[in-house]
């Protein structure tokens, strides 16, 4: 079905819904590379105005990727709860935007509505929003998750302590973990990207983190971010808290990652059987990123931001403890500069939260992108205001194994201080008991005799 909008005497025609969505998307290099972006500002505005008049119901009737060809499409359509969607089913995309920005769309209402929204609906409405709109709506979406502590409460900000090492040296990893803990990082997860995906290497890291956590009775969870198939091999005989997997917004994208929805379900079931959580049993950790489908030649002519939102439907299916976009990691071919990275980070957080996900962000860039740490400071602050559940904590903000720039332990301290945010409650109490923070959340000076340094 074609969509049209006239500006002055020029009629813009968009042949199908996925074309309309792509042309309405704020400019980014990945869509231009795929040949999907609007030709200029006027065509983009025409597409956005046409998109504003599209009824939300259309997204349930016109699949962007054919139902019979894609299990993510089938997941979205088959699992859609019509009764939950009913209160807003009469809205157009533009009316949905206005309602989201109104006082009627408060936190309880958005929490109730979340299961009734599809990724295509939230991606569409995000394309009509300014950055401040994305922040204002996301801030109203409280999404709380629980395993060994509680992440996502309003006025709290958690961190993934990311102690990567180029050779998986246990001493180097342990030193980074201790460093992060002494700066109050690690309440979202202590999560290592292993240099090797071999079961033996991953098992060694799992036991090392778990021994450290048990020794100091740290109320947090651990994860070695190996491939899901490796985790499945290790679960019976190793201390696996969270199961990790990168995911995308189409079946072919997930095939390129070497996974399927059935594999993810199997891993979730195996992890749940361990019953390692103490305050909850949300055992899945997913990472996503705009551009992954294009890089795998699995985009089906759909723009990268909409495909990113579709990845959140996969995540939502498995009730995750953590989800984060790795917003600038894939490179400038997909998000060219700081402006595009900032916009994408706000979009991803907004879409994830609106869909009911415990959304965090790896606020990052690669060294060949037209971005710098000032851009990351801007996105960090904006996401903090938007209520982002967690960010990364990396020594010096420089990942020496993955070779990219992210956020540091100090960045988390800055954001908590200027926005009045605190760590996860259980973890904060542990930090106070260890003499790392005072009761007002301020970092205390440490002596060389501190027990974590012995």
Sheet arrangement for strand 390-393: 222-224, 189-192, 158-161, 390-393
Q: Are strands 158-161 and 150-151 parallel, antiparallel or unpaired?
A: unpaired
Q: Does residue 439 form part of some domain?
A: no
Please count the structural domains in the chain: 2
Domain of residue 20, CATH code: 1.10.220.70
Q: How confident is the model at residue 296 (pLDDT cuts 50, 70, 90)?
A: very high
What 3-state class would DSSP assign to 302?
Answer: coil
Distance between CA 189 and CA 187 in Å, rounded?
5
Going by the DSSP 8-state scheme, the letter that residue 395 receives in this structure is: G
Is 194 annotated as contributing to ligand binding?
yes
Q: Does residue 62 form part of some domain?
A: yes
Reference 430, options 157, 218, 280, 160; nearest CA is 218
Q: Does residue 312 form part of some domain?
A: yes
Q: Does residue 446 form part of some domain?
A: no
Question: What mean pLDDT is reported for the chain?
Answer: 97
Reference 305, options 141, 124, 133, 132; nearest CA is 124
Alpha helix segments (H runs only) across 27-128: 29-33, 41-52, 58-61, 71-78, 82-85, 93-100, 107-113, 119-126
Q: What share of the chain is helix, strand, coil (3-state, %, to 5)?
A: 50, 15, 40
Residues 118 and 183 in one domain: no
Q: Which residue has 């030709």 as its token pair?
A: 39
Q: Does residue 250 form part of some domain?
A: yes
Q: Does residue 105 form part of some domain?
A: yes
In this structure, is the dihedral angle defined by the CA atoms of residues 273, 275, 284 and 397, taken in order, positive or negative? negative
Is 276 annotated as contributing to ligand binding?
no
Is 193 annotated as contributing to ligand binding?
yes
- Class of residue 311 by CB neighbours under 10 A (exposed 0-12, middle 13-18, buried 19+): buried
pLDDT of residue 1: 80
Write out pLDDT tens, residues 65-103: 999 999 999 999 999 999 999 999 999 999 999 999 999
Write out pLDDT tens, residues 328-365: 999 999 999 999 999 999 999 999 999 999 999 999 99
Residues 269 and 150 in one domain: yes
Reference 253, options 304, 298, 308, 306; nearest CA is 298
Residue 147's CB is within 10 A of a number of other CB atoms, namely: 24
pLDDT of residue 454: 82
Residues 159 and 91 in one domain: no
Cβ(449)–Cβ(441) below 8 Å:
no
Please name the residues in contact with 401: beta carbons below 8 A apart, sequence gap of 6 or more: 164, 165, 166, 193, 195
Residues 152 and 174 in one domain: yes
Distance between CA 3 and CA 12 in Å, rounded?
8
Cβ(17)–Cβ(302) below 8 Å:
no
Q: DSSP secondary structure string, 332-385?
A: TTTS-BHHHHHHHHHHHHHHHHHTT--EEEE--B-TTSB--HHHHHHHHHHHHH
Distance between CA 38 and CA 24 in Å, rounded?
7
| Mean predicted confidence (pLDDT) in 285-291 | 97
Residues 160 and 95 in one domain: no
Distance between CA 451 and CA 305 in Å, rounded?
46
Residues 132 and 213 in one domain: no
Q: Does residue 443 form part of some domain?
A: no
pLDDT of residue 434: 97
- Class of residue 169 by CB neighbours under 10 A (exposed 0-12, middle 13-18, buried 19+): exposed
pLDDT of residue 232: 97
The token pair that represents 242 in the structure block = 């969270």
Residues 262 and 372 in one domain: yes
Q: How confident is the model at residue 312 (pLDDT cuts 50, 70, 90)?
A: very high
92, 119, 137: which is the final residue of a domain? Answer: 137
Q: Does residue 451 form part of some domain?
A: no
Reference 291, options 23, 36, 18, 42; nearest CA is 36
Distance between CA 223 and CA 240 in Å, rounded?
7
Residues 202 and 309 in one domain: yes
Is 161 annotated as contributing to ligand binding?
yes
Write out pLDDT tens, residues 46-59: 999 999 999 999 99
Q: Are strands 284-288 and 322-326 parallel, antiparallel or unpaired?
A: parallel
Question: In this model, does residue 404 exceed pLDDT 90?
Answer: yes
Is 287 annotated as contributing to ligand binding?
yes
Question: In this model, does residue 112 exceed pLDDT 90?
Answer: yes
Residues 308 and 267 in one domain: yes
Domain that holds residue 37: 3-137
Write out pLDDT tens, residues 19-45: 999 999 999 999 999 999 999 999 999
pLDDT of residue 304: 98
Residue 314: CA atoms inside 13 Å, Cβ hemisphere, count?
A: 30
Report the greatest alpha carbon distance in the chain.
76
Where would I find the beta strands (DSSP E) of 63-185? 145-146, 150-151, 158-161
Q: Are strands 359-362 and 145-146 parallel, antiparallel or unpaired?
A: unpaired
Domain of residue 371, CATH code: 3.20.20.70
Write out pLDDT tens, residues 139-182: 999 999 999 999 999 999 999 999 999 999 999 999 999 999 99
| Mean predicted confidence (pLDDT) in 297-316 | 98
Question: In this model, does residue 419 exceed pLDDT 90?
Answer: yes
Residues 288 and 365 in one domain: yes
pLDDT of residue 33: 97
| Mean predicted confidence (pLDDT) in 105-123 | 98
Is 362 annotated as contributing to ligand binding?
yes
Q: Which residue has 């240099």 as its token pair?
A: 195
């Amino acid at each position: 079905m074609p969509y049209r909008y006239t500006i002055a005497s020029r009629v813009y025609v968009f042949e199908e819904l996925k074309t309309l969505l792509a042309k309405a998307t704020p400019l980014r290099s990945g869509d231009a590379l795929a040949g999907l972006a609007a030709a200029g500002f006027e065509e983009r505005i025409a597409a956005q105005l046409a998109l504003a008049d599209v009824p939300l119901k259309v997204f349930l009737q016109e699949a962007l990727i054919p139902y019979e060809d894609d299990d993510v499409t089938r997941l979205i359509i088959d699992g859609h709860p019509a009764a939950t969607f009913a209160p807003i089913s009469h809205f157009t995309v533009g009316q949905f935007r206005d309602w989201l920005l109104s006082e009627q769309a408060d936190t309880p209402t958005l929490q109730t509505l979340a299961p009734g929204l599809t990724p295509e609906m939230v991606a569409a409405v995000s394309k009509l929003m300014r950055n401040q709109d994305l922040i204002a709506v996301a801030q109203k979406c409280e999404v709380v998750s629980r395993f060994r502590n509680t992440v996502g409460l309003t006025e709290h900000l958690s961190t993934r302590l990311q102690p990567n090492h180029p050779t998986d040296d246990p001493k180097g990893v342990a030193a980074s973990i201790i460093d992060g803990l002494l700066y109050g990082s690690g309440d979202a997860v202590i999560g290592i990207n292993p240099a090797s995906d071999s079961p033996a290497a991953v098992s060694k890291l799992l036991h090392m983190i778990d021994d450290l956590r048990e020794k100091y009775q740290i109320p947090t969870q651990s994860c070695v971010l190996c491939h899901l198939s490796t985790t499945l091999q290790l679960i019976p005989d190793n201390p696996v808290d969270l199961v990790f997997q990168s995911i995308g917004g189409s079946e072919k994208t997930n095939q390129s990652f070497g996974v399927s929805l059935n594999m993810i379900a199997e891993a979730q079931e195996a992890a749940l059987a361990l019953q390692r959580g103490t305050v909850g049993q949300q055992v899945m950790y997913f990472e996503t990123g705009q551009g992954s489908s294009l890089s795998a030649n699995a985009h089906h002519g759909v723009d990268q931001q909409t495909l990113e939102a579709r990845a959140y439907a996969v995540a939502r299916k498995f009730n995750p403890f953590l989800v984060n976009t790795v917003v600038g990691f894939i490179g400038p071919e997909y998000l060219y500069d700081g402006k595009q990275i900032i916009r994408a980070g706000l979009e991803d957080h907004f879409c994830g939260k609106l869909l009911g996900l415990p959304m965090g962000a790896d606020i990052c860039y690669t060294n060949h992108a037209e971005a710098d740490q000032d851009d990351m400071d801007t996105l960090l602050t904006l996401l903090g205001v938007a209520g982002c559940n967690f960010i990364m904590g990396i020594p010096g903000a420089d990942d020496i194994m993955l070779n990219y720039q992210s956020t540091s332990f100090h960045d988390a301290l800055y954001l908590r201080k200027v926005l009045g945010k605190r760590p996860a409650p259980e973890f904060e109490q542990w930090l106070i008991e260890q003499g790392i923070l005072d009761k007002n959340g301020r970092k205390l000076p440490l002596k060389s005799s501190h027990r974590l340094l012995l």
